[in-house]
Structure 1
Amino acid sequence: MPRGQKSKLRAREKRRKAQGETQGLRDAQATATKEKKSPSSSSSRLGVITQRKSAARSRSTLKRPRGALSTTVSVGVSHPRSCKRANGKVEKKQRSSQAPSSTMQSRRDSLTKTTSMLVQFLMQMYKMKRPIMKADMLKIVNKKYRNRFLEILRRASFSMEVVFGVDLKEVDSAKHSYAIVSKMDLPNNGMVSRGRGFPKTGLLMNLLGVIFMRGNCATEEEIWGFLNKMRVYAGQRHFIFGEPRKLITQDLVKLKYLEYRQVANSDPARYEFLWGPRARAETTKMRVLEFLAKVNHTDPSAFQPWYEEAVRDEEERAQATVTLSDSSNATAIKCSKAMSSSSSHT
């Protein structure tokens, strides 16, 4: 094949890949925005709370997330003779209410599109490690929505947090500059592989949550059951997470965020996941629970048995810090006394 034709094909492939990533990012942002409005659907895409069977008895003690209850409207059947009159009234009502309803829907769609464009811009700046200025963000927002900038920014921040596991923080209120901070210190700004894809922190936080809620150890079947509900499948490349099996059984294991081991005495061999040492060092059960609660539009305390365990974990960590500090102080005092004694003998 001529060299010029090869370069054209490569350029076309790059454009196709970029378009695919952009569309995927739009879809993820739209899903997050939709789920922000409808909490009951959030478990199917972003933050599935996978509970242990043994905890089923305690469900009655958990707070039900707001908006999770579905309502049904019963429609009465009119007598045949009155159908025409009734239909005429309904049609009139529909015509009178259709216009404002469609206008409101159009506004919502435009707002969602604007939010999606802002998310794309912010994630691109994050990947390139470029400073984020309010003035630049305002250029992305349609002029007629400038007065709703804070609302759009909140929506964009929520989407980035639940999908990518990153927080948007204002770093200089005078200059109106912002920075995006990953919830965990994954390499390459959370992208794991240098210069490729999007941050994987959101997926990792979800996986740590599943492991925590499964008694701090989740089988491979449980992990894939959870991922499938997020529409992430083994062997099927995902626009954010890449090849998920490699990501969770190799990349995150190699980085020591996950531990992947064979279940004792299993034949044929079965595998399970635990928190890795870096996960234990960089986050806590409470932070993971707060993340899952936010995705599911509720409070951490709503997940009572795990909340209590997370509180105990926080207390143990605090006690360990105090003990370590006391030990360090005692060692320093001993060293100081030894040095004083040594200098007095000279």
Structure 2
Amino acid sequence: METSKVEALEFLAKVNYTVPTAFLPPLSGDMERGRVLVNFLLDQFKMKEPIRKIDMLKLFHKRYKTRFPEILRRAAKCMELSFGLELKEVKPNGYSYTLVSKIGLISDEVLSSSCEVPKNGLLMPLLNVIYVNGNRASEADVWEFLNVLGIYDGKQHVIFGDPRKLITEEWVQQNYLVYRQIPDSDPLSYEFLWGSRAYAETSKMKVLEFLAKIS
């Protein structure tokens, strides 16, 4: 059964990336195991360590072993949605895996120079939000989208840091986004558009294809 974008977004919001378990309300069943597995995949990626099925199974109580394929599938979808990283089998036996970049933009630069977790998985859906809103998205619409992912204005995120700084300064300075005041708006409001670098390095079709692959 395919995982819908809504299902993936809901799961992503609940696992809340790598927030320590002590700071989150208890989750049950697949959600709790999924959060553990996402954290494990991120750690292995950052440390350049192999991702082996035998090591992942050690994270689970025996009563969850039969649920492992489904939990792994959901965790893999979240890795695609949030970081643009695809979990692929090294060999077609299901015993070992690797994480590879699915798209261009920031991730190719990051992956070629370090093992920091790439942020382009958030940028690509954000570009899509702008596109489907008529090539411009109000700041309110953008934050509504980010809130679904558990990312809030004024709240430091364990992966993305200060989200307001990321979307209104860093990506603007890198020319991936344009952040500007909406003319004649009352009260004063702002909107986001694609920046010149986004147009140069990707296309609206690629953004839609990326989201279609995780639908």
TM-score over 0.5 (shorter chain): yes
Q: Is the 8 A contact 1:208 1:288 kept in 2?
A: yes
C-alpha contact (below 8 Å) 1:261/1:273 kept by paired residues: yes
Query: What amino acid maps onto 1:155 in structure 2?
Result: R
C-alpha separation in 1, matches of 2:5 and 2:126: 23
For structure 1, the residue ranges without an aligned partner over 5 or more in a row are: 1-35, 47-107, 298-346
Question: SS at the partner of 1:274?
Answer: strand
Structure 2 CA distance for partners of 1:124 and 1:174, relative to 1, 3 Å = same
CA spacing shift, 1:291–1:267, aligned 2, 3 Å: same
How far the C-alpha of 1:235 sits from its partner, in A, is 2.3
Tell me how far apart the structure 1 counterparts of residues 97 and 38 of structure 2 sit (CA, whole Å): 14
How many angstroms apart in 2 are the aligned matches of 1:261 and 1:137?
A: 45
- The change in CA–CA distance for 1:218 and 1:165 in structure 2 (over 3 A counts) is same
Q: Judging changes above 3 Å, is the alpha-carbon distance between structure 1 residues 214 and 250 closer, same or farther for their aligned structure 2 residues?
A: same
Q: More relative contact order in 1 or in 2 (CA 8 Å, sep 6+)?
A: 2
Name the count of aligned residue pairs.
Answer: 196
Q: Which residue of 2 aligns with 1:284?
A: 203
For 1:258 and 1:169, the matched residues in 2 are separated by 31
Deviations 1:62-107 (A, max 9, x none): xxxxxxxxxxxxxxxxxxxxxxxxxxxxxxxxxxxxxxxxxxxxxx
Assess, with a 3 A threshold, how the Cα gap between structure 1 residues 130 and 255 changes in structure 2: closer, same or farther. farther
- Is 1:158 aligned to 2:80, yes or no? no
State the Cα distance separating 1:246 from its structure 2 match: 0.5
What do the CA deviations read for 1:200-259 (whole angstroms, capped 9, x no partner)? 333212210111012112233432343345453332223332211100011112233223
| AA partner of residue 259 (structure 1) | V
CA deviations 1:279-315 (Å, max 9, x no partner) are: 33443323423444566x5xxxxxxxxxxxxxxxxxx
Work out whether residues 127 and 189 of structure 1, in 8 Å CA contact, stay in contact via their aligned partners in 2.
no
Same amino acid, percent of matched pairs:
49
Determine which of 31, 45, 60 is the counterpart of 1:126.
45
CA distance in structure 1 between the partners assigned to 2:84 and 2:43 by the alignment = 15
Q: Is the 8 A contact 1:199 1:240 kept in 2?
A: no
Cα distance, 1:176 vs. partner? 3.9
Specify the alignment match of 1:112 in structure 2. Answer: 31
CA contact (8 A) 2:129 2:137 kept: yes
Q: Partner of 2:74: helix, strand, or coil? A: helix
Structure 2 residue 81 is matched with structure 1 residue 188 = no
Task: Specify which of 220, 234, 255 is matched with residue 139 of structure 2.
Answer: 220
Give the Å deviation of 1:278. Answer: 3.5
- Correspondence for 1:171: 90
Q: Normalised by the size of structure 1, how large is the TM-score?
A: 0.46
| Aligned 1:189-268 pairs, distance under 5 A | 189=111, 199-228=118-147, 230-263=149-182
Tell me the distance in 2 between the aligned counterparts of 1:176 and 1:205: 30
Q: Closer, same or farther in 2 for the Cα pair 1:41/1:127, shift >3 Å? A: closer
Residue 178 of structure 2 aligns to a residue whose secondary structure is strand
Secondary structure of the structure 2 residue equivalent to 1:172: coil
Mapped contact 1:166–1:201 kept (Cα < 8 A)? no
RMSD: 3.9
Relative to its length, the structure with more helix (as a share) is: 1
**8 Å contact kept, 1:131–1:177:** yes
Q: Distance in 2 between matches of 1:237 and 1:281?
A: 30
Classify the secondary structure of the residue corresponding to 2:28: helix
